[in-house]
Amino acid sequence: MESYIDKAKLIFFGRLCRLRTSCLSKQIFATRLFSYLENCTAVNLGFIKDICRILSKYDLYDHLLKFSQVASFPGKNPWKHIVSRAIKKYENLQYESRINGDYDFKLFKMIEPCISEPSRIWSIVQLVPKWSKEMYSLAKATMCVRECVNIKDCHLCKKYVHDGNFVVHAANACVLTQNARDKMWSSISNKLTTHTSAFLNSLDSIDFTCIILGAPLDITQCEISAEDYVDLIHISAQFWHICGYLTAAEEQ
């Protein structure tokens, strides 16, 4: 949300910089800007101070300096492009430092390695809205993909899970999800190509879990057609939807 507000302020700042010099708004803006730049340590609240902070935050301050020195500023569309790229870069760096610094996100970063691209789950729901219920269950499962340190017994089958990762256990080994898994593998064999089916069979439990949670395919360096990928995510979502019911029934 903050980046949307920052973007709107930066676009507005660009509009002010591009106004004609004879325009009164431009003259007021320029006077306040130069006054701030001359003595920015003085108490100075309002738009100018705020926009200087935002330009620094996204590494765009050089544009302000160039404007103040030679009165030059990018055009409307180039500036929009520069702002979007800078915000995307900043948000990605923030996201990476957050998930790389926390062991809890070890698997989650395989599923969502980058924040600037829309989630594949979201893109598929946009494509086929009638799948939204199952896709919601899939999205919920991605939120649970972390290793539990304190609890090691599966709450469904009560079996000890050595790494405490119950999502990987549910997708590969839990006896209580066996029927749902059989149904998923049957759909994989029947609906997807032999190439995709063989590829999924060849994956280890971690990679397979990440793929059926919507991870990008490049984590496995395999090419699957776009049609197969959409069908695979739907099959996976149906599996997680059944698992969701199992979990809910167990918790009651």
Sites of contact with Zn ion (CB under 5 A): 154, 156-157, 174
Shortest reach from residue 176's CB to Zn ion, in Å: 6
Whether 44 and 96 have beta carbons less than 8 Å apart is answered as no
**By the 8 A CB rule, do 213 and 167 touch?**
yes
Angle between helices 2-18 and 24-38 (to 10 degrees): 110
Closer CB to Zn ion, residue 48 or residue 156?
Answer: 156
Joined tokens for residue 242? 């059944």
Place of tokens 């569309």: 77
Report the distance separating Cα 65 and Cα 84, nearest Å. Answer: 20
Between 139 and 156, name the residue whose CB sits nearer to Zn ion. Answer: 156
Select 155 or 195, whichever has its Cβ closest to Zn ion.
155
Q: Give me the residue label for tokens 């059989």.
A: 182
Q: Taking the complex as a whole, how short is the minimal distance between the CB of residue 250 and Zn ion, in angstroms?
A: 10
Nearer to Zn ion, 156 or 243 (CB): 156
SS3 label, residue 12:
helix
Rounded least distance, CB 219 to Zn ion, Å: 25
Q: Minimal distance in Å, beta carbon 227 to Zn ion?
A: 33
